[in-house]
Every structure is written in C-alpha cells, then in structure tokens.
Amino acid sequence: MSINREGLPVIGVLLGDSTGVGPEIVTKLMAAHFYDDICRPIFIGDLRIVGEGLKTFGGEAVYYGIDRVEDADWSKGYPVLDTKDQDPSRIKMGAPDPYCGAAGVEAFKLACRLCKEEKIEGFCFGPYHKAAMIEGGCEFESEHNLIAHELGATNFCETNVVDGLMTVRCTSHVPVKEISDHLSIERILQIATLGWETARGMGIEDPRLGVAGLNPHCGENGLCGMEEIEMITPAVNILKERGYNVIGPISSDILFIRAFKKREFDVAVTMYHDQGQIATKLHGFEGGITVSGGQPYPVVTCGHGTAYGRAGQGRASTASFENAVRMTARMALARR
C-alpha cells in the first residue's frame, strides 16, 4: 500500500499494555468514531485485546483483523494489524506481566519497521509498563530508547506537551544533588535545539524558546549559584547568535507564568525533571502528552501510565490519548 499523501495521515495506534488502561482508552475512541476525521488508523496489537477493551465499558465498534497494512480498508471498519500474541486467558488485569511486556516490545519494533517502510507516517501508543517490558526482554531503559534504537535516532529526548506548551529537560532521571554535574553548555544547546526541531515538526514556523534558570532567582548574580553565569547564559547567547528566538535564563516560577498565562513561549527548556513536570501537571495533567523528540517520524503517547488502579473498570479518561492522536496526525501532516 502506498500512502495517499493528499488524504488524512495513516498512523499506527498501539493498544498499550494489555493489563492496563491502554486497550480501554484506545477502543473507547473507536466506539466514539473519534479517529474518523483525524487520521486513517492502523491499530497494532492482538485482535482479541481489542474485544477485551470494548468489553470493559460495554462499547461497540466495527473492526477486523489484517495481516498486512496493505489489506486495510477503512470503509469496512477499523483495521487491526493482528499480532496474535496476547491470549486473554493468560492476562490478569491491574498488574505488570512480562508476557504483556514482551508483546509491547514487539509492537514497538513492528511500528518502527512500518514507519521505515513508509507504510505508516508515525504512531501513537497507549501506556506500557517499563518494568514489564524489561522483564519481557527489552534491552533498553524505556520505550523511547527502544524506539530511537529501531529508528536510528542518536539525538533524542522525551518532551511533554500541555496546553500548547512543550517542555524539554536538560537532565531527567538523576538525583537532585547531581543535577549540576550533568549540566553543560553543550547539553543545554543540544536539548534546546531538539525542542526547537520538535516544535518545527509540529508545524510551528519560528518556535519561541524560554530557558529556565537552575537556582533561586537565577542565582542572584552568583550569590546563590554559578550555573546561570557559567553555563545557562552562555548557552542562551549562542542560541541567539544562531538565530533562535530565545529568552533566558528565567526563574522557572516566572517562566511558566509567562508561558501559560501570557502565551509567550512554545518551548520551555528546563534544567531538571520536576522543574517542568510540576508546573505542567498542575496546569493540565488530564490532557498532557509525551512526544518523543528527535525521532525521524512522529511518535506520541499519553501523559499518564498504565493506571493499574483503574484497569478493567471502564472509567479511564481518554482526554490525554485524544490529544496524542491529534498531535501524531498534526506532526505527520507537517512532515509531509
């Protein structure tokens, strides 16, 4: 099948971990015909899990299994590229399972291969459980690292998008006392550039970057830390010299007021994990999404995890996944 570049984008939709809320939220949107005006979805996962997802909330949808993307015909209903690897009788809802984690690893590999073969234009995915994937044979610390390996991306990062603002972080899962050790001018330049490139991939012509400081009041001219003077300000000046639309460093409390209330920025470059996560989740946790920046194809997921406490109960919110689907389609169109 050759992709019709004039029509709606063809995107892969991975069901998520079978023991979590992923299949439920994916199929809720099937039952609501949410996908119809946004994309041409190719659902990737076990056909039986689609049925299980619908069963959790008593929903109905027309879907059918295919063995090749070329067999997709959306006039017949929703095509599911059937992986045939998740026996419902073996699955216990609400707990991590290496059996399901292994299926997730293979689903990611399949989606990446389909991207490289130009059979889909990108993909979004329901939440997976990292530990279950690792116990199921994943050689990488997260799905984003696995995807980067499969797609050949060497400069990538996890970005979060809430209410039109993307946040990228220069350090992520490191102890707070080691944050400064992991910062450098080069690292700040790398992450700011990735944020800019990812925003361009969303169709923003001239992304506006706001760069956070690290210390209280941006270090008070060295009285309360030297990172702003030694690393952050020099990086911002280099970005300005390169033609980027950038301001900083800005104290993070003020940065997010300017970003959310005054709409001054498209990208917030933060220095550490919680600096951006607390602000964005307080502002709009329900609708937040994660974009895998630096990948050659659009890769997006919802901003929450497998939500085992709600799995199988039919009450999981679809708000975040709706935004993930929309963003994947938007980026696919921008990539054209």
The CATH number corresponding to 10-153+303-335 among 3.40.718.10, 3.40.190.10, 3.30.460.80, 3.30.230.10 equals 3.40.718.10
* Spacing of C-alpha 310 from chain mean position: 21
The Cβ of residue 64 has, within 10 Å, a number of other Cβ atoms equal to 15
Asked, as a colleague might, if the bond just before 249 is cis with ω within 30 of 0, I would say: yes
* Spacing of C-alpha 161 from chain mean position: 8
User: Domain coordinates of the chain in residue numbers?
Assistant: 10-153+303-335, 157-282
**Domain 10-153+303-335 identical in fold to domain 157-282:** yes
Assign domain 157-282 to its CATH architecture.
3-Layer(aba) Sandwich (3.40)
pTM of the shown model: 0.91
* pLDDT for position 287: 86
* pLDDT for position 2: 57
Report H helices in the chain.
Answer: 22-31, 47-57, 98-116, 130-135, 143-151, 185-201, 227, 233-241, 252-260, 273-284, 319-335
Cβ contact 214:227 at 8 Å: yes
The Cβ of residue 68 has, within 10 Å, a number of other Cβ atoms equal to 10
* pLDDT for position 76: 96
- Each residue's pLDDT, cut to its tens digit, for the chain (336 residues) gives 556 667 999 999 999 999 999 999 999 999 999 999 999 999 999 999 999 999 999 999 999 999 999 999 999 999 999 999 999 999 999 999 999 999 999 999 999 999 999 999 999 999 999 999 999 999 998 899 999 999 999 888 889 999 999 999 999 888 999 999 999 999 999 999 999 999 999 999 999 999 999 999 999 999 999 999 999 999 999 999 999 999 999 998 899 999 999 999 999 999 999 999 899 989 887 889 999 999 999 999 998 999 999 998 999 999 999 999 999 999 999 998
* pLDDT for position 155: 87
* pLDDT for position 137: 95
CA distances, 165 to each of 107, 221, 233 (Å): 29, 28, 22
